[in-house]
Amino acid sequence: MADKVIVCKDCKAEFVFTEREQEFYKEKGFDNEPVRCPNCRKAKKQQKDNGGGFRDNRGGNRNQGRRY
């Protein structure tokens, strides 16, 4: 397995998906390669963690008040 160069779907920058990262993904059972560079992954995670989820047409967070 060799390092792979991937183009980020958000910023279009190239990033390297290292052999070690590929092994990690395989061990965890991940079927897909990353589509975002590390910086965009971090930004996406922060957006999600800060309540940046989907909103309904009333402007509220879809998951508010739901019990699972």
pLDDT in tens, 6-45: 999 999 999 999 999 999 999 999 999 999 999 999 999 9
d(CA 54, CA 43): 16
Count of beta carbons in the 10 Å neighbourhood of residue 37: 21
Residue with the bigger pLDDT between 66 and 47: it is: 47
Residue 67: per-residue pLDDT:
64
Helix (H, G, I), strand (E, B) or coil at 51: coil
Residue 1: per-residue pLDDT:
82
Residue 26: per-residue pLDDT:
96
How does residue 51 score in pLDDT terms, banded at 50, 70 and 90?
confident
3 pLDDT above the threshold of 70: yes
